[in-house]
Amino acid sequence: MGTGYVGLVSGACLADFGNVVVGVDINEQRVDLLRSGKVPIYEPGLEELVTRNRDRGRLNFSADVAFAIKSSEIVFICVGTPSQPSGEVDMSFVHSAARTIGQYMEDYKIVVNKSTVPVGTGDEVEQIIRQVRPDADFDVVSNPEFLREGSAIDDFMHPDRVVIGAGSQRAMEAVIDIYRPLYQADVPMVLTGIESAEMIKYASNALLAAKISFINEIASVCEAYGADVTAVARGMGLDERIGPRNLSAGAGYGGSCFPKDVQGLAATARRGDVEAPLIQAIDTSNVRQRRRMVDKLQAMVGDFDGKTICLLGLAFKPDTDDIREAPALEMIAALVSAGATVQAYDPAAMAHSQAEHPELVCCDDPYTAAQDADAVVLMTEWNEFRNMDLPRILDRAAAPKFLDCRNIYDPQEMAALGFEYVSIGRVSRRPGDGLEENSSWMVPGRFSPIRT
Ligand SMILES: NC(=O)c1ccc[n+]([C@@H]2O[C@H](COP(=O)([O-])OP(=O)(O)OC[C@H]3O[C@@H](n4cnc5c(N)ncnc54)[C@H](O)[C@@H]3O)[C@@H](O)[C@H]2O)c1
């Protein structure tokens, strides 16, 4: 139930494992699109995977939820769990899915919560189904999903672990069986109770988000003292207890998961009368980091009124068209409300962004977006920006100002090209700034400084 990023990817991958899957959604347009052979979201490899499994008859889509529930042994709930303004999780889609399941189930079913849900949801789902159908025979299982948009299929097919929380052996065994290829490939299976499985997902996302907020704060300290956060992150990440991932300073985290899951965990702690200042601070720090990007740009160009700003990248991260909670949106809102014109380019997320911000000037490529711009701001580190023709950008722009919110360029090279270049947690460079003595071997990551 639910054919969004998680439902569609999970459904297609489970079909590829040899299971027969039917995807249902309350969004009829989406179901029609899927039935016509199209894929409504951008995710590398997804279209091929969906087509292959549709052609083999293992993956179908339907708006007939009654039929889908009756004919399935296992029902996966993959609906959205957005944030409410209070930070509490909006559980209405999960509750409604549970009611629908109760309404149509006839024989024994296993109901699997794959949506990210607060601890205690397993019980809630059980109670809702019982209210609708008091004589129902079913088990509820928690099987949180850890895929990342942009690498969702690979993440699903080669996960670090599969977490299954169940209250009965029958349900546990049935869900393990669904994942047989992973089980046989020795992917670790964390088999636990429902509450623990629910907590594993929230705790994992909160810690990953905390790493990002931590390195962003370190970046600010680096800026104040002339240190380079990329070198600092590398030096930290080589410590196996820390690890290198999620240690890239940037514009702050976004997306449909980290912001809402961190807020959701903080709200869960509050509801349980638990003081959790550290968890609360992850979000506070991220909100500040996003604001810092706007402040940095303002320090470069002054008053935004009447300025033209080029934004490169709108998606919350590369290889997705998802703009939910994208830092670029906050930048656009700040610029537009202050009277700036925003010219933007993103390889996949333009349509969604234009729908949310009709005043956005969407361009066909980075060079058109840079035309007459008072500053160029890189918001998302798509690969195509890494090898962009930077002199051409410089040539098109009205001023040589470049704010790199993802640290993808070399500060010295940018200065040598003629940019006034500002990035995150690194010393800013102006055109004509000379190369530091011996600087080539100092560039982090360029050489492994192992000397014999
Ligand atoms: N997107 C990610 O990267 C990711 C990763 C891991 C976990 N999650 C979690 O997975 C869940 C789903 O996330 P998503 O990004 O796929 O959301 P999404 O918004 O892309 O998709 C949710 C889909 O569910 C449908 N839906 C809502 N109520 C329904 C119902 N009663 N019956 C059938 N369909 C219904 C919606 O129409 C929508 O198409 C969330 O809890 C999220 O936190 C997301």
Question: Three-state SS across 344-391?
Answer: EECCCCHHHHHHHCCCCEECCCHHHHCCCCCEEEECCCCHHHHCCCHH
**Which pLDDT belongs to residue 432?**
73
Q: What percent of the chain has pLDDT over 70?
A: 96
145 lines ligand 1 (CB under 6 A): yes
Report the alpha-carbon distance of residue 200 to residue 218 in Å, rounded: 27
Structure confidence by residue, pLDDT tens digits, 393-416: 999 999 999 999 999 999 999 999
The 8-class DSSP code of residue 242 comes to T
Higher pLDDT, 160 or 429: 160
393 lines ligand 1 (CB under 6 A): no
Report the alpha-carbon distance of residue 327 to residue 334 in Å, rounded: 11
Q: In terms of Cα–Cα distance, which of 237, 297, 250, 285 is closest to 425?
A: 250
Q: What's the 296 CA to ligand 1 centre distance in angstroms?
A: 35
Report the alpha-carbon distance of residue 225 to residue 88 in Å, rounded: 38
Q: What is the pTM of this model?
A: 0.92
Name the catalytic one among 78, 257, 310, 405. 257
The residue ranges of DSSP E strands in 193-315, in sequence order, are: 308-312
Q: Identify whether 310 is a catalytic site residue.
A: no
**Which pair of structure tokens corresponds to residue 38?**
């199209």
Structural domains of the chain in order of their starting residue, each with its CATH number: 5-192 (3.40.50.720), 203-452 (3.40.50.720)
**Which pLDDT belongs to residue 434?**
58
Q: Please name the helix (run of DSSP H) or strand (run of DSSP E) that holds residue 421, with its range, or none.
A: strand 420-422
1 lines ligand 1 (CB under 6 A): yes
204 lines ligand 1 (CB under 6 A): no
Ligand 1 pocket test, candidate residues 8, 111, 253, 256, most atoms within 8 A of CB: 256
Ligand 1 pocket test, candidate residues 1, 3, 5, 325, most atoms within 8 A of CB: 5
3 lines ligand 1 (CB under 6 A): yes
**Which pLDDT belongs to residue 426?**
96
Residue 49 near residue 16, CB atoms below 8 Å: yes
Length of the chain counted residue by residue: 452
Residue 166 near residue 175, CB atoms below 8 Å: yes
